Amino acid sequence: MRIYPAKPDKVYFYATCLVDLFDPNAGLDAITLIEQQGIEVIYIEKQTCCGQPAYTSGYDDEAQSVALNQIALFPEPYPVIVLSGSCGGMMHHHYRRLFAGTEQESQVNAFCDRVFEFTEFLVHVCRAKLQDHGPETSVVMHTSCAARREMNVHVTATQLLSQLEQVELKVQDYESECCGFGGTFSVRHPDISQAMVEDKTRHIKATQADHLVSADWGCLLNINGALDFQHQHGDASTMQGRHLASFLLERVTPEQIQEK
pTM metric for this prediction: 0.93
Single-letter amino acid, residue 245: A
Q: What is the pLDDT of residue 255?
A: 58
User: Is the domain of 85 the same as that of 149?
Assistant: no
Residues 33 and 117 in one domain: yes
Which residue type sits at 30?
A
Q: What is the pLDDT of residue 194?
A: 93
User: What are the two backbone dihedrals, phi and then psi, of residue 156, each rounded to the nearest 5 degrees?
Assistant: -70, -35
Identify each DSSP E strand in the chain by its residue range.
10-14, 40-43, 80-82, 115-117, 137-142, 167-170, 211-214, 241-243
Are 108 and 144 in a shared domain? no
Whether residue 45 contacts residue 114, with contact meaning beta carbons closer than 8 Å, is answered with no
Q: Report the C-alpha gap between 33 and 87 in whole angstroms.
A: 20
The verdict on 96 and 192 lying in the same domain is no
Q: Which of 77, 20, 29 is nearest to 50 (CA)?
A: 20
Q: Is residue 199 located within the same domain as residue 254?
A: yes
pLDDT of residue 259: 42
Indicate if 43 and 96 belong to the same structural domain: yes
Q: Which of 38, 47, 39 is nearest to 18 (CA)?
A: 47
pLDDT on residue 5: 95
Nearest to 125 by CA among 114, 112, 133, 141: 114
How many C-beta atoms lie closer than 10 Å to residue 240's C-beta? 14
Q: Which domain holds residue 242?
A: 137-259
CA distance 241 to 139: 10
- Do 115 and 158 belong together in one domain? no
Q: How many folded domains does the chain comprise?
A: 2
Provide the CA 218 distance to its chain's centre, in angstroms: 9
Answer whether residue 202 is part of any domain.
yes
What are the per-10-residue average pLDDT scores of the chain (260 residues)?
A: 94 95 96 97 96 93 97 98 95 97 98 98 97 97 93 96 98 94 83 94 97 94 94 93 97 62
Alpha-carbon distance of 29 to 244, in angstroms, equals 10
Q: Residue 40 has what pLDDT?
A: 98
CATH number, domain with residue 247: 3.40.50.11810
From 105, 125, 145, give the residue that closes a domain.
125
Same domain, 114 and 144: no
Residues 42 and 63 in one domain: yes
